[in-house]
Chains A and B, each alone.
Chain A
Amino acid sequence: EAGVAQSPRYKIIEKRQSVAFWCNPISGHATLYWYQQILGQGPKLLIQFQNNGVVDDSQLPKDRFSAERLKGVDSTLKIQPAKLEDSAVYLCASSLLEFYNEQFFGPGTRLTVL
């Protein structure tokens, strides 16, 4: 089966610019996650969707970050405006069920903010 797809793989922007990331989860996976992974750290959950509804966005900096999952399939994560500390790898993951099961990760988007 095809894995989780993400694009772009790399993005370099100036601070205060906007950027958007796209994710296509594994077909049939109802739950989708966005993580931020800063160099040298483990991934940190930003937002979790169940179908097209938000389950958890407690760690999403809502003043600059937004995410949506229209029609319960693809998702986009946007940062506007970007700050230097947003430089990180943004990982998308999906899982078949909402509870007690493994997550499948995409390759990530490496964002550099200058």
Chain B
Amino acid sequence: SQQGEEDPQALSIQEGENATMNCSYKTSINNLQWYRQNSGRGLVHLILIRSNEREKHSGRLRVTLDTSKKSSSLLITASRAADTASYFCATDLYGNKLVFGAGTILRVKS
């Protein structure tokens, strides 16, 4: 069963715009991670936010975590064509065992 559910399933924006993806989960977590997957490639880790953190930044990425609502969001600012990929949230329940959602497909048009 999938713990995390991303929303929207697909997102299409123009280069330079911001992209926001949301993730909801069902049970308590140790941390939540976001990964990117380019077509035909493996996953690349973007950011890890622990359960006692509320917001984290990395370059053009901003992640928020609301444990009371069991939700997280990933914001990509000033998007580029190279950001076109699938984005997955993954919840770490225990022991670094990650449960991935189905992902959001982001398309950035140049």
A34 CB to closest chain B CB (Å) equals 12
Decide yes or no whether A112 CB sits under 8 A from chain B.
no
Task: Give the number of chain A interface residues (Cβ < 8 Å).
Answer: 26
Tell whether, in the assembled complex, residue A4 and residue B102 are in contact, meaning their CB atoms are under 8 Å apart: no
Among A36-44, A67-75, A77-85, the stretch in contact with B? A36-44
Please give, as numbers and ranges, the residues of chain A lying within 8 Å of B31 by CB-CB distance.
100
Tell whether, in the assembled complex, residue B42 and residue A98 are in contact, meaning their CB atoms are under 8 Å apart: no
Task: Give the number of chain B interface residues (Cβ < 8 Å).
Answer: 25
Tell whether, in the assembled complex, residue A43 and residue B100 are in contact, meaning their CB atoms are under 8 Å apart: yes
Among B61-69, B71-79, B89-97, the stretch in contact with A? B89-97
Please give, as numbers and ranges, the residues of chain B lying within 8 Å of A93 by CB-CB distance.
42-43
Complex-state Cα separation, A108 to B4, whole angstroms: 22
A36 CB to closest chain B CB (Å) equals 11
Decide yes or no whether B28 CB sits under 8 A from chain A.
no
Tell whether, in the assembled complex, residue B95 and residue A98 are in contact, meaning their CB atoms are under 8 Å apart: yes
Decide yes or no whether B18 CB sits under 8 A from chain A.
no
Decide yes or no whether A87 CB sits under 8 A from chain B.
no
Please give, as numbers and ranges, the residues of chain A lying within 8 Å of B90 by CB-CB distance.
42
Contacts A100-B31, A100-B50, A105-B44: A42 and B2 contacting too (C-beta < 8 A)?
yes
Q: What residues of chain B have their CB less than 8 Å away from a CB belonging to chain A?
A: 2, 4, 30-31, 33, 35, 41-45, 48, 50, 88, 90, 92, 95-103
